[in-house]
Amino acid sequence: MLGIMQDQPLLISSVLAHAARHHADTEIVSRTVEGSIHRYTYADAHRRAGRLARALGALGVGFSDRVGTLAWNGYRHFELYYGISGIGAVMHTINPRLHPEQIAWIANHAEDKLLFFDLTFLPIIEAVAPHMRTCKGFVAMTDRAHMPASSKVAGLLCYEDLLERESDGFEWPTFDENTASSLCYTSGTTGNPKGALYTHRSTILHAYASALPDTLDCSARDAILPVVPMFHVNAWGLAYSCPLVGAKLVFPGPQLDGKSLHDLFETEKVTFSAGVPTVWQGLLAYVKQNNLRFSTLSRTVIGGSSCPPAMIKAFQDDYGVRVLHAWGMTEMSPLGTVCNLKTKHLGLTKDEQFGIEVTQGRAVYGVDMKIVGDDGQELPWDGKSFGNLLVRGPWVVKGYFKGEGGDPLVDGWFPTGDVATISPDGFMTITDRSKDVIKSGGEWISSIDLENIAVAHPAVLQAAVIGVAHPKWDERPLLIVVRKPGAQVTREELLGFYDGKIAKWWLPDDVVFTDAIPLGATGKMLKTKLREQFGSHRLPTA
Ligand code: AMP
């Protein structure tokens, strides 16, 4: 017997329509590419997204067509999120930090019909335009006054002109909730990038779950500043969760340095933010140097790479900002786990609580997870056994766009490529990417654990640990360190710093000092590059 409830598809357009109706005067504030601050409301965003939808139709964009964007976090990008998906076309966010060749490859693979870009990226557009096989037009996300006087790209369109020509009052079409809504390519550190193709349904379920109190706890009383880019898994879904709950949105545009962010946190009374550890490193350094505080920021979600415990401590103890350590991936829309304590932990000592807060946390409802050994057998949740982490759920991919890479699922589970432990309470700790784990004498050593300890040393700015070939043990850990400007520390002092913090056989065999750790387009350490650079390092014990 079927239930007797209304059969309303979960569509992305309904989220903005809801915000426009129930949070009409809630603000969206953006630092623009031109440098000024732009303010308007959800009602304005909804009206303009409707005009954009009409403009897309006039430019020949139809159902299922892909439309690319190369843009910062800002109000026009937000309108594109809704204007494009709202008509059943597919919003394809492209990471501008990729190499232009990779950008052209991705846009061709996606068969983008139009490409919208922020003026910052005009040089990229000029470089890639001759190689774009399917793109019929390029739209500069600006007004007439700021249009480039000349460009190598013929017939550039102007975003504000397109909207000006259209009228208000667009009626969003209704269609199947399983229609593709947006496309995001994985970073492709191994082989070509692969496209995760989200649906309206998966996006809305993810937005609901993200907003829950034990997830990101978003509400109409929040002012939320996503530092995480809208080209990195839809700003971790915040572009949808914020209008869903009616939170004020603050977009930082291209200025992601410590001062610009701190200014915006203060002037816009931001309560919650989100970003990768590398961004927060810059912010914390700026705040410390200038002896500043956060007057309204109460919590921030940190993920994308493991958040060093020293950073969690600095936020919590020095600035009273609670860190929600979270884990996810492009293939998971992205949220998988978030660290929030349970009632039974509230009576623990601060140190015991901290021991839990540094983990990547508990699965959000909608994500099922398990760890398995190399033989595929499920491993116990004892907080000690490490295994390959598999997930399943309604916002986890079941394959990639155009079937790239074949069927990734194993008995219906998606192998994340991460290695993790899970505690009896379900708190998950990522110990490594499976390709980064150090296999020493048949046992695994967590490079993340070793890095977290090194960055807690006062002289260390950044640290990475890779496995280096060893004749007896297969691999042994090598610690690669960037010192803080002006700081001195020796190999012996660093190795001594591990005393009592790890099992003796985990101790790195050697330390090398370098000027910078290479970072990928989403702010993760590029261990492939480090292995090329230091993989043949001769260990003293080898
Ligand atoms: P991406 O698809 O670019 O977001 O990358 C996803 C990958 O980032 C995951 O599979 C993890 O390897 C890594 N990652 C994300 N969040 C965390 C975290 N909190 N701790 C450790 N690794 C993380």
Name the residue type at position 97: R
Helix (H, G, I), strand (E, B) or coil at 486: coil
pLDDT tens by residue, the chain, 542 residues: 999 999 999 999 999 999 999 999 999 999 999 889 999 999 999 999 999 999 999 999 999 999 999 999 999 999 999 999 999 999 999 999 988 999 999 999 999 999 999 999 999 999 999 999 999 999 999 999 999 988 899 889 999 999 999 999 999 999 999 999 999 999 765 567 899 999 999 999 999 999 999 999 999 999 999 999 999 999 999 999 999 999 999 999 999 999 999 999 999 999 999 999 988 989 999 999 999 999 999 999 999 999 999 999 999 999 999 999 999 999 999 999 999 999 999 999 999 999 999 999 999 999 999 999 989 999 999 999 989 999 999 999 999 999 998 999 999 999 999 999 999 999 999 998 888 889 888 788 989 999 999 999 999 999 999 999 998 888 999 999 999 999 999 999 999 999 999 889 999 999 999 999 998 888 889 998 999 999 899 988 66
Rounded to the nearest angstrom, the distance between the alpha carbon of 313 and the centre of ligand 1 is 21
For ligand 1, say whether the CB of 210 is within 6 Å of any of its atoms: no
For ligand 1, say whether the CB of 305 is within 6 Å of any of its atoms: yes
- Tokens representing 506? 């985990």
| Cα Dmax for the chain | 73
Look at the block and give the residue holding tokens 């007057």.
295
pLDDT at 443: 81
From 502, 504, 503, 512, select the one nearest 535 (Cα to Cα): 512
Nearest CA to ligand 1 atom 4: 329
Distance CA 404, CA 194 (A): 6
pLDDT at 6: 96
Q: Which of 136, 288, 350, 439 is catalytic?
A: 439
Residues belonging to the chain? 542
pLDDT at 31: 98
Rounded to the nearest angstrom, the distance between the alpha carbon of 190 and the centre of ligand 1 is 15
pLDDT at 136: 95
pLDDT at 356: 97
Distance CA 496, CA 396 (A): 43
- Tokens representing 212? 């829950």
For ligand 1, say whether the CB of 195 is within 6 Å of any of its atoms: no
Nearest CA to ligand 1 atom 8: 304
Rounded to the nearest angstrom, the distance between the alpha carbon of 249 and the centre of ligand 1 is 25
Distance CA 315, CA 233 (A): 25
Ligand 1: residue of 97, 98, 329, 389 to mutate (most ligand atoms within 8 A of CB) is 329
For ligand 1, say whether the CB of 186 is within 6 Å of any of its atoms: yes
Nearest CA to ligand 1 atom 1: 329
**Which atom of ligand 1 is found nearest the CA of 187?**
3
For ligand 1, say whether the CB of 215 is within 6 Å of any of its atoms: no
**Which atom of ligand 1 is found nearest the CA of 360?**
19
pLDDT at 541: 67
For ligand 1, say whether the CB of 360 is within 6 Å of any of its atoms: yes
For ligand 1, say whether the CB of 303 is within 6 Å of any of its atoms: yes
pLDDT at 435: 85
For ligand 1, say whether the CB of 86 is within 6 Å of any of its atoms: no
pLDDT at 434: 85
Q: Which of 186, 215, 330, 431 is catalytic?
A: 186
Whether 501 is catalytic = no
Q: Which of 79, 177, 331, 451 is catalytic?
A: 331
DSSP 247-311: -EEEE-TT--SHHHHHHHHHHTT--EEEE-HHHHHHHHHHHHHTT---SS--EEEE-SSPPPHHH
Rounded to the nearest angstrom, the distance between the alpha carbon of 435 and the centre of ligand 1 is 13
pLDDT at 48: 98
Burial label, 317 (beta-carbon count in 10 A; 0-12, 13-18, 19+):
exposed
For ligand 1, say whether the CB of 359 is within 6 Å of any of its atoms: no
pLDDT at 335: 97
pLDDT at 453: 94
pLDDT at 374: 87
Nearest CA to ligand 1 atom 20: 306
DSSP 174-232: ---TTSEEEEEE---SSSS--EEEEEHHHHHHHHHHHHSTTTT---TT-EEEE-S-TTT
pLDDT at 190: 58
Whether 186 is catalytic = yes
Nearest CA to ligand 1 atom 6: 329
Distance CA 273, CA 138 (A): 32
Look at the block and give the residue holding tokens 């989403």.
522
Rounded to the nearest angstrom, the distance between the alpha carbon of 164 and the centre of ligand 1 is 41
Element (H, E) at 64: none
Look at the block and give the residue holding tokens 């784990």.
437
Rounded to the nearest angstrom, the distance between the alpha carbon of 433 and the centre of ligand 1 is 8
For ligand 1, say whether the CB of 330 is within 6 Å of any of its atoms: yes
- The pTM of the full predicted model, rounded to 2 decimals, is 0.92
Distance CA 284, CA 262 (A): 9
Distance CA 94, CA 277 (A): 21
pLDDT at 54: 98
Rounded to an integer, what is the distance from CA 307 to the centroid of its chain? 13
pLDDT at 189: 57
